[in-house]
């Protein structure tokens, strides 16, 4: 299983390099954005497993096309969007390998912004400046892993506290007691059109957002010390959410639906990117001892299901059945979202999954 996961990841990396021979052309071009950040973090994980320098070099070329000699990040809107913070996780392996101080300066810049990020009254990060008082599940992945790693690498333990608090605030305010899963968004002010007038919550559990949340918690835990006072709380949350996610797995495909808990409702469909992220989190939870070793069986059978639900064209791997970028909708809005083939959401999530499956086998 380990070799299959690594070989499949390499096949996808090579597919994408053929599609985008110049790393700087990854869409959206000339923007430091989470689409590229997710995909390239998956490629960096692949490099760490196979040690083929072409993958490291590809990531470095993209970063170097946007980070100048003084560590300034060009074409970036990090003051406005957490989405423009996420690619900062790529700076850590580059700084570690090269010692180039401009990567550290870029990290300092991004983390400095997060230190002053706007929060709602509960203490939760706004999703963006144009979404005041709103927390979206996606945001935990966009802002917290970079903070948690900074805490470890540069002895700033207060950032472990911050990342844990963000996850806990979401859990306490965005969990649907009927399903045990989390709703996509929460508007504390209750002013947004989609917000319930009593709770401020959106209606549905969108798969990929729930996936970002559980993957982000595992990333935080991977950097947090074993004796941190918030660690057990995060472990308890992760165990509960992953356990509930497993209840909604489609038994035939071993994968999950676009609107996770409504697999039996009209129009719902198996969505690959959320499935990849759930598998990533389950496998990493096994590896870090958050889940019992028996869950390795589930992770591997879900991975086999994921491989059955993608296609190939000659040497190219085709990651299909992936929802395009999505805001907050009602049920019909989510199931009507178009799908894409080999967009960076799907390819990135697939590579993250492959790396964690390889590491537990």
Helix or strand or coil: residue 91?
helix
| Local structure of residue 148 (DSSP, 8 states) | H
Tokens describing residue 62: 């993209």
- In sequence order, what are the beta bridge partners of 206? 259
Of 288, 291, 323, nearest to 138 by C-alpha is 323
Query: Quick one: how far is CA 119 from the chain centroid?
Result: 21
Distance between CA 188 and CA 124 in Å, rounded?
10
Instruction: State the virtual CA torsion across 258, 309, 38, 326 in degrees, nearest 10.
Output: -30
Omega prior to 10 cis, within 30 of 0: no
User: Cα-flanking dihedrals φ and ψ of residue 253, to 5°?
Assistant: -85, -20
b/e code 63-100 from CB counts within 10 Å (16+ = b): bbbbbeeebebeebebeebbbbbbbbbbbbbbbeeeeb
Catalytic one of 133, 138, 187, 203: 138
Distance between CA 38 and CA 41 in Å, rounded?
5
Helix or strand or coil: residue 201?
strand
User: Cα-flanking dihedrals φ and ψ of residue 125, to 5°?
Assistant: -60, 130
Distance between CA 263 and CA 256 in Å, rounded?
8
Task: For residue 14, indicate whether it is catalytic.
Answer: no
With contact defined as beta carbons under 8 Å apart, do 255 and 249 qualify? yes
Distance between CA 221 and CA 147 in Å, rounded?
12
Residues 6 or more apart in contact with residue 101 via CB below 8 angstroms: 71
Residues annotated catalytic, as ranges: 138
């Amino acid at each position: 299983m380990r070799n299959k996961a690594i070989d499949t990841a390499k096949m996808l990396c090579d597919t994408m390099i053929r599609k985008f021979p110049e790393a700087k052309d990854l869409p959206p071009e000339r923007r430091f954005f989470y689409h590229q950040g997710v995909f390239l973090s998956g490629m960096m994980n692949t490099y760490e497993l196979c040690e083929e320098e072409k993958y490291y070099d590809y990531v470095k070329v993209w970063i170097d096309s946007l980070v100048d000699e003084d560590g300034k990040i060009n074409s970036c809107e990090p003051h406005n969007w957490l989405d423009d913070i996420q690619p900062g996780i790529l700076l850590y392996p580059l700084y570690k390998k090269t010692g180039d101080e401009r990567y550290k300066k870029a990290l300092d810049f991004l983390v400095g912004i997060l230190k002053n990020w706007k929060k709602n009254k509960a203490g939760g990060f706004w999703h963006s400046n144009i979404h005041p008082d709103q927390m979206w599940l996606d945001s935990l992945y966009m802002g917290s892993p970079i903070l948690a790693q900074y805490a470890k690498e540069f002895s700033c333990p207060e950032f472990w506290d911050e990342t844990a608090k963000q996850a806990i605030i979401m859990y306490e305010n965005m969990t649907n007691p009927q399903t045990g899963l989390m709703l996509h968004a929460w508007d504390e002010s209750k002013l947004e059109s989609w917000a319930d007038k009593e709770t401020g919550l959106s209606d549905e559990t969108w798969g990929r957002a729930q996936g970002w949340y559980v993957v982000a918690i595992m990333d935080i835990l991977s950097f947090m010390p074993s004796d941190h006072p918030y660690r057990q709380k995060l472990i308890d949350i992760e165990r509960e959410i992953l356990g509930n996610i497993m209840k909604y797995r489609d038994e035939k495909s071993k994968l999950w639906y676009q609107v996770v808990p409504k697999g039996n409702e009209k129009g719902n469909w198996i969505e690959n990117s959320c499935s990849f992220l759930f598998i990533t989190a389950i496998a990493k939870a096994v590896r870090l001892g958050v889940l019992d070793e028996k869950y390795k069986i589930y992770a591997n059978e879900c991975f086999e299901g994921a491989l059955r639900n993608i296609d190939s064209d000659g040497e190219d791997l085709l990651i299909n059945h992936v929802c395009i970028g999505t805001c907050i909708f009602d049920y019909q809005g989510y199931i009507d979202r178009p799908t894409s083939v080999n967009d960076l959401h799907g390819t990135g999530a697939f590579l993250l999954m492959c790396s964690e499956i390889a590491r537990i086998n």
